[in-house]
A and B are shown apart, each in its own frame.
Chain A
Amino acid sequence: MDQLLINPDYPHILSTLIFLPLAGAILLLFVRNEYFARYWALGITTLTAILSIPLINAFDRSTSSYQFVEQVTWVKSLNIQYVVGIDGISILLVMLTTLIMPLCVLASWSYIKTRVQAFMVCLLIMECAMLGVFMALDFILFYILWEAMLIPMYMLIAIWGGPRKIYASIKFFLYTLAGSVMLLVAIIWLYIHNGYSFFIPDMMWQNYSSTAQIFLFLAFFLAFAIKVPMFPFHTWLPAAHVEAPTAGSVILASVLLKMGTYGFLRFAIPITPEATMTLAPAILWLSIAGIIYGGFTALAQSDMKKLIAYSSVGHMGFVTLGIFVLNTAGVEGAILQMINHGITTGALFLCIGMIYERTHSRELRDATGVGKHMPIFVTFLTFFSLSSFGFPATNSFVGEFLILAGTFEHNIWLALAAIPGAVLAAAYMLRMLQKIVWGGTDNPDQSWISDLNLREIVTLAPFLFFVFWIGLGAEPFINIIHVSVENLLNNYHGFHNQVAVVTELIIQ
């Protein structure tokens, strides 16, 4: 267990982050006051966010070990442990989650009018489960949180969702659950072949047989590809995004989708490196298909939320592309792009939600020409749209650039095939922006619309801050992930060299 570092300054920081929201949720169950529920949820999520800041300061950037580790035996007879820790791959995702949750509460302040307590309870339980998923180093702990998260998310869509919420929520639940049942079988298989241990780092870089690796990889792939979602498993995403309330869409886009790509990085590559090698080309081309498909479909949407949802399919295609080119630039770009997508798309969903609160319509047609009456709003929207298609000096530019650089290094044809995706992104985002800001000669009367209030500005401002911070100075963000990524890739290439040497020996 030399991969584990216990940080003596902050002995229980990760557990505090996981269980604080849960405790808040349990307490909120007994409260019947809506105002209190709002302030309480805001307080708890803000406190969690503040408590998570020391993670960044105390994080040791020179090691790829898991840090801030806590380890307790949970179920002794099955050797299940409660063990949490973070490394360069997960730290930014943890930070993204903690920082985005207070903003989600703010975004639901007036949007949610019925059963506020229950809504806030769901949000807090979501936060607990999401943080746990990124921190878990025991596979069963991971799986429990991964599945348990479905219940509050299902409730968020099914109770507070739009008109087709029932269809969307059931589709979301069934897709994700059906995808992950085979993951459970894979976990049990790994447990039995690893001396009855669920400890994730022990499962990595082992010599499982090639057939077993292929099957394990397929089980991982099914679970994670649905979550990402990769083309052609994406069909639940537009439905869920469109019907979910704003906070639900933001959580879905910013955090939930990242769990799929995180799963690829944390499990698929280290546990099944040989199968990754074999199947990576197929996944790369699926990513390209997702990029192009997402772009074209987004171009044809008249529903703003659907447009952003399909753009997510394209952006997440870039992320999987970056992961499976398996070089430093690609993987670092992919992780950075996971964060960027969380920031930008989350912010775009918030913007759409703000329009929806005013016009009660998600149709692009009904929102045309609001630029004249909502100058602050369209300023925000413009920056986020520019960020979404990777305009230089915004965050996505750095991420997409790194991914494409990595792809060029890997295979020039692949990179050329991905380029149209970037162009398409500009096309659909600018089309939406043009319609919302200026519209045409037949704009509906928007003069009654009011601009953003202080709460809404406060909600959006942090996103804008990060858009420019990552866009102009991505260095600190890359520093923090660099060592872990290098370690992952070194292990990966080392594993293959070793396999090659062994094969050569056998041939001789």
Chain B
Amino acid sequence: MQFLPELTLLGAGLVIFIASLRSTGAATTRNLAIGLGSAIFGATLLSANQTGKLFFDAYQVDLFSQVFKMLIAGAMLLVLLFGQKLKGIPEKIFPEYYLFLFMSVLGLMMLVSSVELLSIFVALELSSFAVYIMVPMRDDSGKFRFQMEAGIKYLLFGVTATGFMLFGMSYMYGLTGSTELSVVITKLSTMWDTPAAVIAMMMVLSGFFYKLAIFPFHFWVPDVYEGASNETTAFIASVPKLAAVALLIRLVSLISGDGQMIVNILMVCAIASMFYGNLSALVQKDIKRMLGFSGIAHAGFVLLGILTFQITGYANAIYYIVGYVLMNLACFLVICSVSKKGENVMIEDLSGLHKRSPIMAFTLAVGLFALAGIPPFVGFMGKFMLLAGALREGYLLIVILAAINTAIAIYYYLSVIRVTYCSSPEERGVITPSILTSATSVFLLAIIVFMGVSPQCFIDYASAAVQTIM
């Protein structure tokens, strides 16, 4: 029962693998994948209250990990639902695509439960390798083959980050003589005045910075977002970030004592991510690139919660990343629907969307206003709580800089909304989203508003989850 979600995922992978051996129709594969996705989500719900340790204490099942497994499975299901057509991917590799998708999610689920350096590494690699293959899986009828470029870039940056991480882990082992996270961190916390400990910690964190796209490990974001198919990008932009935040919190929450050096470094990373992301997003023409840069800025905001070193701060970070994933998925839902054959969507392609498909335009507007942090949506509440938490710890300067960033960001979000609502569609055709897509978008809208208006129960739940790992 403790291992149920992972086993279900593994089983799902096997079923898809069998499907890939025979020539299964595209529609069958799709429905099969959605069915399996729902089963996985159901499994995470079933095992929500499990606790225990597995595999010689290398694998910890607690409320914290189970909450994140639920979130990961939920986000994956949403991606499957609105990306069901897989427009950008050749039909004959559908089963393989789903297989790697499930394997990547399996890696992420194992990641949030890992409490030992080696199992963290193995889980992270499992999730990354599957995505390395998913990125170039795109219809290559266009002559540019930029998906290959994206795949190579993602791989190289990923391997570099992993290299850093592995190097940091070797330092950790050298300093403490253990690979168990709790032992490592307890011993490390007495030696924050030695540079080796700080460097080791930062190197390990860099692996997650890479997943979360935090400066200075963000360089892959724009090109990979642009090169990968829309559905893959939706996945990369949401699901791995949940797991990355989970692991960041797991690592940072164990830092006790005098970790001021780490706080300072995190602060610089957060501010640099915000400014870099927001300023670069101002000039983008491809909406996926724009969302990529905005994602870098939002990752900086998440760090703002983590660097408070408080339970409320971690809970706020969880609330914010969940909100971010929902808002982001709402935007990607629209991108996937607008794109006719899986090609990239330029911002100008959204012209007159309100006439071509009112519900898509509305979803996009709400998603972007929420990302911009306008009340009453979840983006505002999350941002507000992060700022309040950081100011409570006395970081006035960083709060002011973050507030300035909010003002910068509004411009590019608003430009997209302007295009969707204020320009004429010209020759662009009407879009009729499928019922499933419309239902998903209504669900996303409802939860974006609901989380923004009554954040209490979500925060309580996140705090309870964080409490179990403190």
Contacts and interface: CB of A to CB of B under 8 A. Distances in A.
Interface stretch (B27-35, B181-189, B369-377, B428-436): B369-377
Contacts of A178: 407, 410
B380 interface: yes
Main secondary structure of the interface of B (DSSP, over half): helix
A277 interface: no
A151 B374 contact: yes
Interface in A95-124: none
Interface stretch (B224-232, B254-262, B320-328, B455-463): B455-463
Interface string B431-460: 000000000000000000000001110011
B367 to A, nearest CB: 13
Interface hub of A148, A155, A189, A191 (most chain B Cβ within 10 A): A148
Contacts of A150: 374
B195 to A, nearest CB: 34
B18 interface: no
B404 A166 contact: no
A181 B418 contact: no
A144 B399 contact: no
A225 to B, nearest CB: 16
Contact of A177 (B388, B396, B410): B410
A147 B380 contact: yes
B414 A170 contact: yes
A393 to B, nearest CB: 44
A286 interface: no
Contacts of B392: 192
A178 B369 CA distance: 15
A147 B407 CA distance: 12
A147 B375 contact: yes
Interface string B43-54: 000000000000
Contact of A158 (B375, B403, B422, B463): B422
Given A181-B403, A184-B403, A77 B459 contact: yes
Contact of B421 (A144, A148, A155, A191): A155
Contacts of B167: none
Contacts of A191: 388
B375 A148 contact: yes
Nearest to A185: B403
B391 A166 contact: no
A320 B50 CA distance: 62
Contacts of B374: 147-148, 150-151, 177
B404 A181 contact: yes
A182 B403 contact: yes
Contacts of A148: 374-376
A16 to B, nearest CB: 18
Given A77-B312, A174-B411, A191-B388, A158 B418 contact: yes
A78 B381 CA distance: 11
B220 to A, nearest CB: 30
B410 A78 contact: no
Given A169-B422, A185-B391, A185-B399, 11 more contacts: A75-B454, A77-B312, A77-B463, A144-B376, A148-B375, A148-B376, A155-B421, A166-B418, A170-B414, A181-B406, A184-B384
29 contacts: A74-B454, A75-B455, A75-B459, A76-B456, A77-B456, A77-B463, A140-B384, A143-B375, A144-B376, A148-B374, A148-B375, A151-B374, A158-B418, A158-B422, A159-B422, A170-B415, A173-B410, A174-B410, A177-B407, A178-B407, A181-B404, A182-B403, A184-B387, A185-B391, A185-B399, A188-B399, A189-B396, A191-B388, A192-B391
Interface of A: 74-78, 140, 143-145, 147-148, 150-151, 154-155, 158-159, 165-166, 169-170, 173-174, 177-178, 181-182, 184-185, 188-189, 191-192
